[in-house]
Structure 1
Amino acid sequence: MKILKKLKPEERGLTRTLWEQVFTEDTKEFLDYYYTEKTKNNEIYVIETDHDIRAMMQLNPYVIQMGKKAIESRYIVAVATEPLYRHRGYMAELLSKTARDLYQQKMPFFFLMPASEKIYYPHNYRFIYAADVWSVKGTDGEELTIQKIVELQNDSGVTLRKAEGKDCKKLGDFAEEVLEKQKIQVYTKRDAAYYMRLLKEQESEKGGILIAEQDGEMRGILVFDEEDGLAVREPLIRKGYEDVFDKAGVILKKEEKKKPLIMARLLNIESLLSSMVCREEMDLEFVLYDPVIRENNRLFMLKGNEEHLVVRTRTAHTGKDDAVQKISIDALTSIVFGYKELEKIEEEEKEIFSAEFKEEISKLMPFSPVFINEIV
């Protein structure tokens, strides 16, 4: 007998065997961290047959800053099926069940880092964030290790050191300040608890957080690991100190091409749209189609200005509403996160937007730029 259920907190550790079977690249140290820290408060949905777990999907809670509001969201990780039970639709069942459950919680969206875009595209996931790709070298182009970095000498007054637990409050305050000044619209909220978890996560992968200080003040931070050579991500640098790592002998190079990293699935559309604001006075109607969350299949009426946006909905009626613009949940995802131009969305989603729709929807301030770099 097949059962789809959400595990109780004390049952979450039962999924480790499946994780080890499917994600063989993950180390014991990382899994020890994950099943100690992340499963304290996450949600795990599984499919069981004969009392054994055959497939799972884990939802890790994050608070996301969306414009001026902080909202609850979930980061989907460890979507896995036992090899002998693949191609039975188990993953699709888990994706649909979690989407419907989180819709009921009025969650605007949840997100994941896909192993392959092709896996999640048919399930209404679309990219919302492409990350900068960074490399790091010494001033003479030499390869660096963190040990070499913290031993570097310079006369610029910049010091580099690895973060410790006592730094986490300052790290959270620093990151929030930098992201706010960069006018990032969507990001995972940072505080002491966030950086304490991140520090443990990085240490489980032979990494950590590097801090650049000058005149006793934090000027820049970056996340690193050394599992396979030195890799860095997410440098956050205070405005006016963009060369702080260079001065210390650590040359950060940003590649020209970004890497598509995070896909999202919209959930409660009324909650999502109610968090948005307009550039100018707008009046827009559209009929939404969502193949999974049927409650989203409604006529949406948006009216607002720079001060506020009012979102109303009602059942769409055949005949009466035939002339209203139709739009898919997929196209709406790309629009609200500003990931693609309207013409590109029309082409890729095979949808046609009226001139009036394009004019009015462009008055919405998209949730862009996005900055989500979490691994789990």
Structure 2
Amino acid sequence: MEIRKLETEEKQNTKKLYEEVFSEDSKSFVDYYYEEKLKDNQIYAVEEDGEIQAMLHLNPYELAVNGSKKDVNYIVAVATRESYRKRGYMAGLLKQALNDMYADGETFTFLMPASESIYLPFDFRTVCEQNRSYYDPEEETEEGVVITDAVNADAEEMAAYMEAQLTQSYQVYAKRSTAYYERLIKEYASDGGILKIYKKNGKITDIKIAAEAEEVDGGKPKIMIRIVDVRRMLMSLRLQSFMGTCFTVTDPIIEENNRCVMITGTEFSGVMLMDGKPENSEGTITVGALASLVFGVKTAEEICADGDAVMSERMKEELGKIIPLSRVYLNETV
């Protein structure tokens, strides 16, 4: 099995596989995706018998994480042609992409799983559900509110409004920009959807999605995150008070993450990190369990009960001083 990152001019060669595996997507949406998202994404592929038989796309986003900007890839379109499944292609693609992202200095990656069980063995962990706000034509609106269909001329104002909303309420979210909304307007239009802008006294008060009934009633998709670089992840955190502990992280996919770390800091300094000495380690934690901890999904006590970590009581107390990244807003589709 040979895995390689496709050159720009080769990316279109994956469209046939996309249409075959994701047959529920409309032709207009697939055309949008292959026209728009291929401009700046990366595609990994496995070729057999003269054709691309498996692929994985990395779509780039600029995220805000505790107020800092981070370049993060959204893993989408993970697919293997049916007759070539159970050959380890998906595992190979994920491992290659994760190691390349580590080499590129990325902190974590995320995806929307078709099934969580597929990605748990690769140390992805569910951190949130998407929570989209849909337009209801029958809802009563406040007096003085005007609702219009979003067009590109609105994109700058939409970005300013949502950026202000998100920065107040969330620790992790995709940064909004004029280009972000110009692309999103096009994305929804490709599938028969519209972004609705609510304004009062000339100022935006809300943005909602007008979509097909099956999307509105389709439940809340989950988002899973995988730590790519343990040190960068820990350095992104904030603390409640002075803390310090030394522990060992294990990662079966990214070799460089297998290390003993000494973490310390205060509520003022943030996290300070050093290489720890194995003889000083107070415990061991898997990279997947660490994701559950730092994103506030589970406590240190719960992770130990699951068998994904062994910690001294003191280490549990110290890790409890980390402020988890529990307020996550990642509502992107592709």
Output the TM-score relative to the length of structure 1. Answer: 0.84
1:17 aligns to what SS in structure 2?
helix
- What is the match of residue 361 of structure 1? 319
Amino acid at match of 2:256: E
- TM-superposition CA deviations, 1:342-373 (whole Å, max 9, x none): 33333335434322111111111211200001
- What is the match of residue 255 of structure 1? none
Q: For the residues of structure 2 that align with 1:155 and 1:275, how far apart are their CA atoms? A: 40
Q: For the residues of structure 1 that align with 2:85 and 2:10, how far apart are their CA atoms? A: 23
Moved more, 323-332 or 341-350: 341-350
- TM-superposition CA deviations, 1:94-134 (whole Å, max 9, x none): 01111111011111100000000011111111011123476
Q: Which of 182, 188, 197 pairs up with 2:183?
A: 197
Q: How does 1:107-186 map to 2 (within 5 A)?
A: 107-132=106-131, 137=136, 144=138, 156-182=143-169, 184-186=170-172
Q: For the residues of structure 2 that align with 1:348 and 1:219, how far apart are their CA atoms? A: 44
- What is the match of residue 338 of structure 1? 296
Q: For the residues of structure 1 that align with 2:309 and 2:262, how far apart are their CA atoms? A: 20
- What is the match of residue 59 of structure 1? 58
- TM-superposition CA deviations, 1:308-355 (whole Å, max 9, x none): 2211125x64xx35x521111011001111122333333335434322
- What is the match of residue 223 of structure 2? 262
Q: Per-residue deviation at 1:135?
A: 6.5
Q: Which of 300, 305, 311 pairs up with 2:273?
A: 311
Alignment check: 8 A CA contact 2:282 2:312 kept? no
Amino acid at match of 1:66: V
Q: Per-residue deviation at 1:136?
A: 6.0
Rg larger for:
1
Alignment check: 8 A CA contact 1:280 1:363 kept? yes
Moved more, 186-195 or 268-277: 268-277
2:99 aligns to what SS in structure 1?
helix
Q: Per-residue deviation at 1:230?
A: 7.0
Q: Which of 205, 212, 216 pairs up with 1:231?
A: 216
Matched, 1:271 2:271: no
Amino acid at match of 1:313: D
Alignment check: 8 A CA contact 2:135 2:210 kept? no
Alignment check: 8 A CA contact 1:127 1:260 kept? no
- What is the match of residue 78 of structure 1? 77
Q: Which of 222, 237, 241 pairs up with 2:208?
A: 222
State the aligned residue count. 333
1:339 aligns to what SS in structure 2?
coil
- TM-superposition CA deviations, 1:15-55 (whole Å, max 9, x none): 00000111110111001100010000100000112331110
Q: For the residues of structure 1 that align with 2:215 and 2:296, how far apart are their CA atoms? A: 33
Q: Per-residue deviation at 1:273?
A: 1.2
Alignment check: 8 A CA contact 1:64 1:186 kept? yes
Report the CA distance shift for 1:291/1:229 in structure 2 as closer, same or farther (over 3 A).
closer
Q: For the residues of structure 1 that align with 2:142 and 2:72, how far apart are their CA atoms? A: 45
Consecutive unaligned residues of structure 1, counting only runs of 5 or more, are 139-143, 234-257
Amino acid at match of 1:312: M
Q: How does 1:18-97 map to 2 (within 5 A)?
A: 18-97=17-96
Matched, 1:374 2:332: yes
Q: Per-residue deviation at 1:137?
A: 4.9
Q: Per-residue deviation at 1:222?
A: 1.4
2:233 aligns to what SS in structure 1?
helix
Q: For the residues of structure 2 that align with 1:362 and 1:294, how far apart are their CA atoms? A: 27
- TM-superposition CA deviations, 1:72-99 (whole Å, max 9, x none): 0000000000111100000000011111
Report the CA distance shift for 1:351/1:205 in structure 2 as closer, same or farther (over 3 A).
same
Alignment check: 8 A CA contact 1:330 1:349 kept? no
Amino acid at match of 2:161: F
Amino acid at match of 1:231: V
Amino acid at match of 2:252: P
Q: For the residues of structure 1 that align with 2:32 and 2:95, how far apart are their CA atoms? A: 29
Report the identity percentage.
38
Q: For the residues of structure 2 that align with 1:375 and 1:73, how far apart are their CA atoms? A: 15
- TM-superposition CA deviations, 1:144-197 (whole Å, max 9, x none): 5xxxx8xx8x78111111111100001110000011222x00001101000111
Report the CA distance shift for 1:333/1:215 in structure 2 as closer, same or farther (over 3 A).
same
Q: Per-residue deviation at 1:231?
A: 2.4
Q: Per-residue deviation at 1:275?
A: 1.7
1:129 aligns to what SS in structure 2?
strand
Q: For the residues of structure 1 that align with 2:66 and 2:8, how far apart are their CA atoms? A: 33
2:113 aligns to what SS in structure 1?
coil
Amino acid at match of 1:353: M
Output the TM-score relative to the length of structure 2. Answer: 0.94
Alignment check: 8 A CA contact 1:47 1:56 kept? yes
Report the CA distance shift for 1:53/1:352 in structure 2 as closer, same or farther (over 3 A).
same
